[in-house]
Chains A and B, each alone.
Chain A
Amino acid sequence: MIVEGGHFAMILALALAIVQSVVPFWGARRNDLALMGVGVSAAVGQFAFVALAFAALAAAHMTSDFSVLNVAENSHSAMPMIYKFSGVWGNHEGSMLLWSLILATFGALVAVTGRALPARLRADALSVQGLIGAAFLAFILATSNPFERLVPSPFEGRDLNPILQDLGLAIHPPLLYLGYVGFSIVFSFAAAALIEGRIDAAWARFVRPFALIAWCFLTLGIAMGSYWAYYTLGWGGFWFWDPVENASLMPWLAGTAFLHSVAVMEKRDALKVWTIFLAILAFSFSLLGTFLVRSGVLTSVHAFASDPRRGVFILGILAFFIAGSLALFAWRAPMLKQGGLFAPISREGALVLNNLLLTTACASVFFGTLYPLALEQVTGAKITVGAPFFNMTCGVLLLTLTFLTPFGFSLAWKRGDLLGVAQRLAFALLAGLIVVVMLIAFVHGGPVLAPIAAGLAIFIMLGTLSEVFSRVRRGGAKLSALFSRARGLPLSFWGGAVAHFGVGVLLLGLAATGFGQEVIATLHVGSPLHVGPYEVALDSVNTRGGPNYQETVAHITVRENGALVTTIEPARRQFAARQMATTQAGIATLNLGQLYISIADPTPDGSIPARMYWKPLVTLIWLGAICMALGGAVSLTDRRLRFGAPSRARAGAAAMVAS
């Protein structure tokens, strides 16, 4: 009954989404406020019904109702409750429903918070948002109905893929989807601005918080996915340049570029056409990512059972929205009025360069990801474009960008003084250089790029700090005044500083991977091995039972100079329902680095083949990403960016003058 209710709610949501896409648009053309108002209630209604549908599916999963095909295929009565719940989106149908739920949530958020916006702009944006919602709801209902019944119903489910039975599944997909789908709002507003043929700083002020929210979640989602892959796949890698990862990196790069260009538009009324283009690009890449992951074009853990009809349907959605928005862009963008002027050497000029580097990096990822697919279609040859390609292109471009970041961050708007900035950054530059030279001189082995990346990381961190310091101290303030001066700086400045610092932290973590150690050996009880600065000894091996698996656990102690540091318990889990094993890596975090051990099945004599890694400073990779997202969140709390409150910005006016 609940399940049928969920199905029915989804059909109602689709109907409302269609109303939302047609009525407000028509109202905006006729200047009819009542018709435009329909968009608001339809968006809220669509959200309510999609939420109901999602709740119905969640209820079926949590009560292990195996008469529902989706539950029977992807759940098991013995699974812990948290996995029963996260298993809702651990399959194709459920994950698309989560996509739609988040899409509808953002739509409702715009409907509720957008009162201060021009009525026509809001109506058009809601209408585009409704169109996206309708397309995906239709996709679910037509090809991937999660509410399908199974007759006769089995006594037991087929279990969730053991790799997905992890806390990561509860966190990673929702975060990532909040990011992907958050850019839909930016896209809808870009389309609305193009339909109106008008765009101004108020548009930027309204859209920027949504872009920031999406960007923060996307950053966290990618970082979480990377950490999940790191601890679950058992070979200690955190980024494989796998097409599925690239699919999430592309909207991130485009979204990062958008955040920087929308700042220029908000402050200086320039780069309008380019900003609109990036808005379209960011969401187009989100859609492309969904297509790559969900259509079965690629095979990976992310591709659930594939069905050719789905691929064609998503390709249709993709083609419609990307081609449609680009056509709209080509037709209407020339009508947008150009704004403020600036010298090439200025904050704006630096942000243009930032955008060029980010979009070129994005293009290189796009090329490397799709070239093998295209080549196979055209010539039949099967190739893999591996990590070295992406490091050489995307990596080098992004490293160049990190070098330029502190300069851009310190330049003034309109016309900057590059020499003055270079003088202010001299200390940071020198410190970075010293780090590079020291690492090359004293540490041997490791890739060539590692010392350079480490130096760059130090440079961007110190460069950011020195800009913060010089802002706080400008005009030679007394020590007691520093604190109030620091509080007077706009929060968006602090947000930028924190995020840029996070880039440095992340880069330092990446650079440190060049100085780790990998030991592949067989562990015997009583014969310790050296891994990095630590001594690793196998104490015993035993088996124990979990809720729906049996595991073989190796008890390993870690010593440093004879003193006990910690114990690590890597394991192999055997899942009965699917006859599958997973590797649970044992990880100990020591001084921001990690000792990482993953084991294979024990040999008959009780010894265990293992891969052991010492990864110095590796946690900085994810801490850096969290720091970046934190910067975005700080930026978000800036008064100027409160939803649709341009008039209340007066309070922050003094701060704005200071910046």
Chain B
Amino acid sequence: MTRKGRRLAMIAAALCVVGAGAALALYALGDNIVFFYSPSELVAKNVAPGARLRIGGLVEPGSVNKTGDDKMDFSITDGGKDIKVSYQGQTPDLFREGQGVVAEGVLESSGQFHAETILAKHDERYMPREVVDSLKKQGRWQEGQK
């Protein structure tokens, strides 16, 4: 093979691998993006039920209601709107009323949010950034300052 031929083979191989990588990325990106909404945005944007998403805000004080061994209902609020969430499973160490929380799951047609995973903050200083932002939008700056 000539020098030119070898170089062409290299470039072809490079294009194949990079092309395959890009194709995989585009394909994977189609189904695997999860959008984040605050309760107010969820109402304002009329998000269709069935989509996988994350919602975040504060666990509304007084809303946590144990419905079974490891089942519970609670509401997430950003000060403007709030949304009912149902969840089955163990909650993180710092899941408490009045604390920041992010839930990932599916919006049901009833308007209730079915959470599959719950993320709470890891220590008393840390609040999920998305939650801080959405609280600020509702004019509540205080919680985010901690």
Contacts and interface: CB of A to CB of B under 8 A. Distances in A.
A381 B13 CA distance: 36
B122 A163 contact: yes
Interface string A352-379: 1100110011011001100000000000
Interface stretch (A179-187, A390-398, A469-477, A646-654): A390-398
A360 B17 contact: yes
A640 interface: no
A161 B21 contact: no
Contacts, number: 111
A357 B17 CA distance: 7
Nearest to A401: B17
Contact of B25 (A161, A367, A384): A367
A636 B128 CA distance: 43
Contacts of A367: 25
A389 interface: yes
Interface stretch (B57-65, B76-84, B86-94, B107-115): B86-94
A161 B123 contact: yes
Interface in B41-55: 54
A485 to B, nearest CB: 34
Most chain A CB within a 10 A radius of its CB, from B1, B29, B32, B130 = B32
A580 interface: yes
Given A382-B130, A397-B21, A581 B93 contact: yes
A21 B54 CA distance: 48
Interface residues of A, number: 46
B54 A384 contact: yes
Nearest to B35: A383
A397 B126 CA distance: 35
Given A163-B123, A360-B17, A383 B34 contact: yes
A393 B17 contact: no
Nearest to A573: B93
Given A381-B35, A385-B32, A520-B90, A392 B24 contact: yes
A548 interface: no
Interface in A381-440: 381-386, 388-389, 392-393, 396-397
A392 B125 contact: no
A305 interface: yes
A388 B18 contact: no
Residue of B35, B126, B130 with most partner-chain A CB within 10 A: B126
A609 B92 CA distance: 12
A389 B122 contact: no
A600 interface: yes
Interface in B90-107: 90-91, 93-94, 104
Contacts of B14: 356
Contacts of A579: 124
B36 to A, nearest CB: 4
Interface in B15-32: 17-18, 20-21, 24-25, 27-29, 31-32
Given A344-B13, A580-B123, A583-B93, A385 B21 contact: no
A520 B70 contact: yes
The 6 closest A-B pairs by CB, nearest first: A392-B28, A382-B36, A360-B21, A356-B17, A389-B32, A388-B32
10 contacts: A305-B125, A341-B3, A368-B25, A383-B35, A385-B29, A522-B70, A578-B123, A579-B124, A582-B93, A609-B90
Interface of A: 161-163, 234, 299-301, 303, 305, 341-344, 352-353, 356-357, 360-361, 363-364, 367-368, 381-386, 388-389, 392-393, 396-397, 520, 522, 578-583, 600, 609, 611
